[in-house]
Amino acid sequence: MLYRFKSQATADTVMLQATGEQLLTIMGKTVAPQGIITVAQMPAAIAALNQAVLDSEALGDDAAAPTATTKEDEAAPTDPIRLRQRVAPLVAMLKECAAAGKDVVWGV
């Protein structure tokens, strides 16, 4: 399943299920096929996402996950994708939508 975050103010932001669910949980939203982040909720959501990044980096954990590899790539090392990288597109979307006064929805 994919999470497609939509708003009238920005282009869509698409995430894989695991990442979408992780970020929804961080923002305090219910993990569901459909939902909304209202303009009033955006400052708290942005703050929660930014704090989660700071916390993960402070722990040295950084919520890194290995990138997908193919058989040919098994010998080549891959850089992990950090929480900071996963959060960035959604934070940018939320900031732009908050400035425009438009909600963000998913699954609609």
Q: What is the pLDDT of residues 75-84, one digit of tens each?
A: 556 668 899 9
Q: Which domain holds residue 61?
A: 2-106
Whether the model pTM is above 0.75 = yes
Alpha carbon 92 to its chain centroid, in Å, reads: 10
Q: Phi and psi dihedrals of 53, rounded to 5? A: -65, -45
Residue pLDDT, tens place only, 11-53: 999 999 999 999 999 999 999 999 999 999 999 999 999 999 9
Domain count, the chain: 1
Residue pLDDT, tens place only, 39-48: 999 999 999 9
Residue 1: its pLDDT value, please?
86
Tell me the average pLDDT of the chain. Answer: 88
Please name the amino acid found at residue 83: L
